[in-house]
Each structure stands twice: as C-alpha cells, then as structure tokens.
Amino acid sequence: MPEPILQLRNVSKSFGGVAANVDVSFDVARGEILGLIGPNGAGKTTCFNAMTGVYRPTSGQVLLEGQKLGKRKKHQITQLGIARTFQNIRLFGEMTALENVVVGTDARHKTSVVGALIRSPRHQREEREAVDRASALLEFVGIADRAADKARNLPYGYQRRLEIARALATEPKLLCLDEPAAGFNPTEKEELMGLIRKIRDDGYTVLLIEHDMRLVMGVTDRIVVLEFGKKIAEGLPANIRENPAVIAAYLGVPDDGAA
C-alpha cells in the first residue's frame, strides 16, 4: 500500500462513560478513496470529529503525514491539510456561491490583519487570486453557472457540491466527506460518484462516510467497517461485501442464512 497520509492509532472517545470509539486504528493511503461504513451509532462521525479537531480523543493518536494532531484546534488542522463536509450542510446562506468558496481560500491567505485593513498590494493580489480559484472550483464541481446565486437559493444537490468546492478551496491533503449522498436521488448519486473519482484523479485523497452501499462499493479503493465504536473489518470492497461479520452487522443477513 502507498505511504499513509493519515494514521489513526488506537483512537478511543468516550462521552460521559459511553464509548463512541474503542481502539480504532487504520491508515488512509495517499491518493486513495477510503470508505468508512457502519450502522447508525457505529462511531463513524466521531472518528471524523477526532481527525478534524471537533473532539479530542480520550486516548490514542491521529497523525497527518506523521504529525500528531493532538491538541491542535480546528483551524490549525485545516491549515495542516484536512478539510471536511458535514452531514447537515453548513453554508453561508445569504452569501453567493462564489463568496462561500472564497471564504474557504482564507485558510491559505498570508496577509496580516493590518494588511487586510489597509488593503495592501499583497492583500489585493490574494483577493484576486481567491476569486479566480473559487471560480475554477465552481467549474470543477459543475455549478459555475450559479456562482452569483445565494447559497440558500441553490437546489439541494448544488448545495452539496458547493460545500465540497468550499472544502477544496482550503487546498486539503485529505478531503473528508460525511454522507455527501444524503437526500440524493439515483441520478445525483451517479453524478456524485463521478465527482468523487474526479477529485481523487485531481490529486486529492478522500475519506468517505456513506450509507449508500452501491455508491461505497462503486467508488472506494478500500473500506473500513465500524460497529459499536470498534473496527470489525478492513479490506477491498469485494472482500468487505463477502465478510460475514459485515453482512451480519450492516449489510443484512443473507437470505440463505435467515432463520
């Protein structure tokens, strides 16, 4: 397997004595699409939150390119190279699509507060570059024609694409997508699969939480399966599909095994 860009080492997280993750360990290889699956309450989003600074693990380590993320804050982890989307879309509804993506580019701006206030030449150059970058990303995700529309006025599927564009604007080394197909119809899911592959082909590494098994099996290189906060399986999609523990926990018991 290629070198890991992200490593989880015995990550556990508890809330008031209730364990959401228990000694979870896996690697995300550079350039792959890794699926993280499991039934509701399995601890998938808790893993995402531990990676992105929303939660601090109770024990264990998360490493990005060998650096321990430890007590780093969310914006520091974003600057190091992890971006994410959320199950519930979190856009700035009164801002345009273009403005939403420009906000994402702020993570890479180097102008000081004073420079921004006096609109220094460097600040003005960064503003122009941000607009150009945001426009290119809207084109990349397929919604360039809606750049001037307020985010709240966009169709649901376009809002999902916009959130992905904003995450990409931070120039991540790892893009974490938390149930990006939620609420999508079959056609939108097919289009999303194409977009995720396009993102990977453009040089990004993708970690995907998703309930739609057809999408997961169709787009991922490897899959990690959680149940009750613990990892119960890891492997290629074809192997996960046939894994008895996964079938029992998540995919459903086969007909010939039904009582």
The closest alpha carbon to 130, from 166, 160, 158, belongs to: 166
Residue 230 pLDDT level (bands cut at 50, 70, 90): very high
Residues 34, 208: Cα–Cα separation, whole Å: 6
Residue 6 clears pLDDT 50, i.e. is over it: yes
Residues 6+ apart with CB under 8 A from 159: 89, 91, 151
Lowest-confidence region among 103-107, 113-117, 159-163, 226-230: 113-117
Residue 190 pLDDT level (bands cut at 50, 70, 90): very high
Q: What pLDDT, on a 0 to 100 scale, did the predictor assign at position 173? A: 95
- pTM for the predicted model, two decimal places: 0.87
Domains and CATH numbers, the chain: 1-81+172-259 (3.40.50.300), 91-171 (no CATH)
Geometric angle at alpha carbon 125, from 136 and 170, rounded to 5°: 45
Residues 6+ apart with CB under 8 A from 151: 91, 92, 93, 94, 95, 96, 97, 100, 159, 162
Residue 242 clears pLDDT 70, i.e. is over it: yes
Residues 167, 176: Cα–Cα separation, whole Å: 9
3-class SS letters over 135-155: HHHHHHHCCHHHCCCEHHHCC
Residue 69 pLDDT level (bands cut at 50, 70, 90): very high
For residues 201 and 113, the model is more confident at 201
Residues 220, 122: Cα–Cα separation, whole Å: 41
3-state secondary structure of 194: helix
* CB of 218 closer than 8 Å to CB of 193: yes
Residue 121 pLDDT level (bands cut at 50, 70, 90): low
Within a 13 Å sphere around the CA of 210, how many CA atoms are in the beta-carbon half? Answer: 27
Residue 113 pLDDT level (bands cut at 50, 70, 90): very low
**What average pLDDT is seen over the chain?**
88
Residue 115 clears pLDDT 90, i.e. is over it: no
Q: Which residues pair with 61 in a beta bridge?
A: 9
DSSP code at position 96: B
Q: What pLDDT, on a 0 to 100 scale, did the predictor assign at position 120? A: 60
